[in-house]
Structure 1
Amino acid sequence: MSPSADWASAKAPDLAEIEALADAAFAALPDAFRRLCTGVRIHVDDFPDEETLTEMGCETAFDLLGLFRGVGLAQAGEVATGQMPNAVWLYRRPLLDYWAEHDESLGHLVTHVLVHEIGHHFGLSDDDMAAIEAAADTIREP
């Protein structure tokens, strides 16, 4: 089968497939890093909601690839009653748009955004996040 035949029937990954990439990316992160993420939930949505777009100062719904919401470890104290659990959101359509415009695999992109957003949980620098991402195994495409 020619490479063009593969693309002729290809469809964009759905929410479940992006979630599977995120799960694989998370599983490939160093054990010590993952242990510190206890309780952090990963969500995949097509787009951020309007409130998030406004809060983050986004011009379009495609401007935000991911987001950490919660109390990071750097600021953590007692969890307040009624406080939502720490969570990372990955946004499928902006991820796919970015992927289409750049020369990297979708698995690498999902890993990069996931590490960056979890890094906010830890209060890590960009250099720290780059080192963690480099330690992660290569993620295979679905």
Structure 2
Amino acid sequence: MEPEGQSAATLAPDIATIEALALAALNRLPPEFRAHLGDVVVQVEDFADDVVLDSMGIDDPFSLSGLYQGRPLSEKSSMDSGALPDMIFLYRRPLLDEWVETGVTLEALVTHVLVHEVGHHFGLSDADMHALEELAG
């Protein structure tokens, strides 16, 4: 039930909405990329935690809209064991601020950030990430 006097149209998109947009973007990626993303966990949070921000030297939590944590596929070995799963974090509040500031659709923005983080998983260059984003758009 929505708060009195408010409708879904007047509320900021919640974590579940951002997650649904991210999963839809993942499903639009070419099959050859999706085949290597099965173990990657996508997590949506309001902000990066202080440990992450401090480790990256970021003072303003609104400055980080997405993060890949893991080792790129090119650095993995069949001898790896016991490692935490690779994760892509999307940060809702910075995404919403960027959405308002840029005027792009929220779907396009979430796709852009997600594809950039997927690119880190594959060890792609910025140019390769741009081409992948075109395919997922």
Question: Pairwise mapping of residues 104-123 of structure 1 onto structure 2 (< 5 A)?
Answer: 104-123=104-123
Query: RMSD of the TM alignment (CA)?
Result: 1.7
Instruction: Detail structure 1 runs of 4+ shifted over 2 Å in the superposition.
Output: 78-82
Find the residue that maps to 1:68 and give its secondary structure. Answer: strand
User: 1: CA distance between counterparts of 2:97 and 2:82?
Assistant: 35
| Displacement after TM superposition at 1:120 (Å) | 0.3
Identity %: 50
Query: Which runs of 5 or more structure 1 residues have no equivalent in the other structure?
Result: 1-6, 138-142
Q: How far did residue 117 of structure 1 move?
A: 0.4
Partner of 1:73: 73
Q: 1:140 aligns to what?
A: none
Gaps of 5+ in 2: 1-6
Structure 2 residue aligned with 1:82: 82
Distance 2:48 2:24 in 1: 22
1:102-133 alpha-carbon deviations (Å, 9 max, x no partner): 02110000000000001001100011111111
Alpha-carbon distance between aligned partners in 1 of 2:51 and 2:31, rounded to the nearest angstrom: 34
Name the TM-score, length of structure 2 as normaliser: 0.89
The count of residues paired between Structure 1 and Structure 2 equals: 131
Q: Taking structure 1 as the reference length, what is the TM-score of the superposition?
A: 0.86
Indicate how the Cα distance of structure 1 residues 74 and 10 shifts in structure 2: closer, same or farther if over 3 A, else same.
same
